[in-house]
């Protein structure tokens, strides 16, 4: 079969709601990184996450991780515990701040951060460097919830803030509660391949209005309230575009339908591959507290199972490599 199958494509609403809000932005000249669409999108997300948290819409999920770590006080010489089985955006912002990522292994049921290994890592770092990690970053890999209860219990015991990377877990729940609302901060992503999209963008779920204001300040260049340019901290241009937020507002109208569709696809795979030898669809734990959005359906294959043509899987890929030291000049 020559047809290319994409992992997860963006799907716009059939009624064109996204275009309506984008057109409004053009018609009213709100073509800037703030405005009515941004405000309304943040309110939509606040309602979606349970109406008990504040939300800041940002340019990317990676930006959300970065700002969350800043507000948690992460800086040069610090360590942050992060899930080892994850996309690089979970860990790269740690290095932006001059801190060191310490990777924690996963447990087999969810493929997410193992609470037992998490506590061992905390004890190990305290014993070896004399101080505890500055933050913990669990990840909802492929949309699967992590063990929120045990991870939060450990974090609370050692008084370490949790930054939930729910970039792939939009709409996933643990014990009836939306991911991203357990820790001090929750990271959402609206990249083109996520459950809903704003073309490119993300958001940070905050526990309080005070945290939201601090995040907003850093996301808008950390400009101090003076009639001239004055900055007492380094800020960033991380606010979401009013155009992108317009797409997000339309997507929120179909968000639950997208989640339901992904769950339907997972159920199909589970049924169709039930008796296929050597192929093991990854399911959520039998524990009813777990409610995955199944952003991506995943499987493991026995060692003797081969996929036809797998040797050519990456034959036509474009590989972007970093320049050699000599090329850097």
In a domain? residue 239 = yes
pLDDT at 322: 63
**What is the C-alpha to C-alpha distance for residues 73 and 60, in angstroms, rounded to an integer?**
20
Asked if residue 1 has pLDDT above 60, the reply is: no
Residues of the chain above pLDDT 70, percent:
94
In a domain? residue 240 = yes
pLDDT at 139: 98
Rg (alpha carbons) of the chain, rounded to whole number:
21
Mean of pLDDT over the chain: 93
In a domain? residue 64 = yes
| DSSP labels, 58-86 | ES-HHHHHHHHHHHTT--TT-EEEEESSS
Asked if residue 314 has pLDDT above 80, the reply is: no
User: Please, what is the Cα angle at 81 between 80 and 85, to 5 degrees?
Assistant: 130
Count up the domains in the chain and report the number. Answer: 1
Strand 135-137 relative to strand 79-83, pairing: parallel
Overall average pLDDT of the 51-71 stretch: 97
In a domain? residue 300 = no
In a domain? residue 295 = no
In a domain? residue 299 = no
Assign residue 42 the CATH number of its domain.
3.40.640.10
Q: What is the pLDDT of residues 235-270, one digit of tens each?
A: 999 999 999 999 999 999 999 999 999 999 999 999
Confidence of residue 2 (pLDDT cuts 50, 70, 90): low
Strand partners, 174: 177, 290
In a domain? residue 282 = no
pLDDT at 324: 59
Asked if residue 3 has pLDDT above 80, the reply is: no
**What's the whole-model pTM score?**
0.92
pLDDT at 327: 54
Overall average pLDDT of the 291-319 stretch: 85
Distances (CA, A) of 79 to 94, 121, 131: 8, 11, 9
| Domain boundaries, position 205 | 17-254
Alpha carbons within 13 A on the beta-carbon side of 218: 21
In a domain? residue 39 = yes
Residue 136 in contact with residue 118, Cβ under 8 Å?
yes
13/327: higher pLDDT:
13
């Amino acid at each position: 079969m020559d047809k290319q199958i994409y992992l997860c494509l963006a799907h716009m609403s059939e009624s064109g709601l996204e275009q309506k809000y984008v057109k409004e932005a053009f018609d009213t000249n709100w073509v800037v990184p703030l405005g009515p669409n941004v405000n309304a999108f943040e309110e939509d997300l606040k309602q979606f996450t349970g109406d008990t948290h504040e939300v800041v819409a940002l340019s990317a999920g990676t930006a959300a991780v970065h700002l969350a770590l800043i507000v948690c006080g992460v800086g040069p010489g610090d360590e942050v515990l992060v899930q080892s089985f994850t996309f690089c955006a979970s860990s790269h912002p740690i290095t932006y701040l001059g801190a060191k990522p310490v990777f924690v292994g996963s447990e087999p049921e969810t493929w997410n951060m193992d609470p037992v290994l998490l506590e061992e890592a905390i004890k190990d770092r305290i014993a070896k460097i004399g101080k505890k990690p500055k933050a913990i970053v669990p990840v909802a890999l492929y949309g699967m919830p992590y063990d929120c209860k045990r991870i939060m219990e450990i974090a609370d015991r050692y008084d370490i803030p949790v930054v939930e990377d729910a970039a792939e877990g939009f709409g996933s729940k643990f014990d009836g509660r939306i991911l991203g609302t357990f820790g001090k901060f929750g990271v959402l992503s609206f990249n083109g391949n996520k459950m809903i999209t704003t073309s490119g963008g993300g958001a940070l779920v905050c526990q309080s209005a005070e945290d939201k204001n601090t995040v907003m300040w850093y996301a808008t260049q950390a400009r101090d309230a003076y009639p001239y340019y004055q900055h007492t901290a380094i800020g960033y241009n991380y606010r979401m575009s009013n155009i992108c937020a317009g797409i997000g507002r339309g997507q929120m109208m179909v968000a639950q339908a997208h989640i339901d569709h992904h769950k339907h696809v997972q159920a199909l795979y589970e049924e169709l591959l039930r008796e296929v030898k050597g192929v093991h669809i990854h399911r959520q734990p039998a524990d009813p507290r777990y409610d995955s959005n199944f952003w991506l359906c995943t499987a493991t294959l026995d060692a003797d199972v081969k996929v036809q043509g797998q040797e050519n899987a990456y034959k036509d890929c474009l590989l972007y490599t970093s320049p050699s030291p000599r090329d850097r000049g």
